[in-house]
Amino acid sequence: MDKSPKVRSLEQLFALVKEGKLDVNEAIEQSKNCYIQDLDFAKIDHHRSLRKGYPEVVFCEGKHIEHATQIIIELAKINGRVLGTRATHELYLRVEAALKGFDVVYHELARVIEVGQPKDQIGHITIVTAGSADIPVAEEAYVTARAMGNHTTKVYDVGVAGLHRLMNHIDEIAKSNVVIVVAGMEGALASVLGGLIDKPLIGVPTAIGYGSHLDGFVPLLAMLNSCATLGVVNIGNGFGAAVLASQINHLVSKKS
């Protein structure tokens, strides 16, 4: 029986070799799993955590449930932590059953499976929504940002239909390193907030609105044409906004 310690990262691998707990040949063999793992239907990038600071994240929507389950399991075995976005409760039950001994949580509003505990939280990201219908996208951003090691707070339902609600929180929002604004309808909140604070702002348009809203194209175009300076991600892409915000927040936090 092979009793060699199993590693989840190159950093751990090198440490074990240095300590004499793993010989060079075994280290070379195990290092193969620190890079690309070929499952035929998927090529899992285990090296991403070294390049990007966080393991590969699985976009589950559209994937066969067996494939999504296996990808998450293999990532968890090597990296210890993984997120599965746009995941169903059924997928969560399969992953939880397969990963005994791992901390597996399903964030229902966000539709995110989280394996493992979040890192230490640094800096400050605030996620703001125009309405409560925008919360599912905002929660995807919130779970992702926290999982990637960011102190993250929420300010929900402060859209332009009642601007005084936003002003009640403006000082709190302005203290953040980065702000994510999630808005449907006409998407005006991103432009308004962008003109009030001096921090990087990321707009996330949502598919919430009536017919001429065009499933999110109206707020997308409104944010892209904002007089205020802000970055914009794709419709409903809370995950992408959180990753970008995390990169900015970590850069700012390391310099301060």
Please, which residues bridge with residue 179 across strands? 126, 201
Structure-token match 């950093």, residue found: 11
For the stretch 149-174, pLDDT in tens is 999 999 999 988 888 899 999 999 99
Q: What pTM was computed for the model?
A: 0.83
pLDDT at 74: 87
For CA atoms 158, 162, 165, 170, the dihedral sign is positive
235 three-state secondary structure: coil
Q: Which amino acid is at 193?
A: L
CB 236 within 8 A of CB 207: yes
Please, which residues bridge with residue 158 across strands? none
**Which residues are CB-contacts of 199 (< 8 A; sequence separation ≥ 6)?**
174, 176, 177, 178, 179
Q: Which domains does the chain have, with CATH numbers?
A: 10-25+32-115 (no CATH), 122-255 (3.40.50.1970)
pLDDT at 81: 86
For the stretch 229-254, pLDDT in tens is 899 999 999 999 999 999 999 898 87
How do the pLDDT tens digits run along the chain, 256 residues long?
345 445 455 667 777 788 888 777 776 666 655 666 767 777 777 767 767 777 778 999 999 999 999 999 988 887 788 999 999 999 999 999 999 888 999 999 999 999 988 777 889 999 999 999 999 999 999 999 999 999 999 999 998 888 889 999 999 999 999 999 999 988 899 999 999 999 999 999 999 989 888 999 999 999 999 989 899 999 999 999 999 999 999 898 877 6
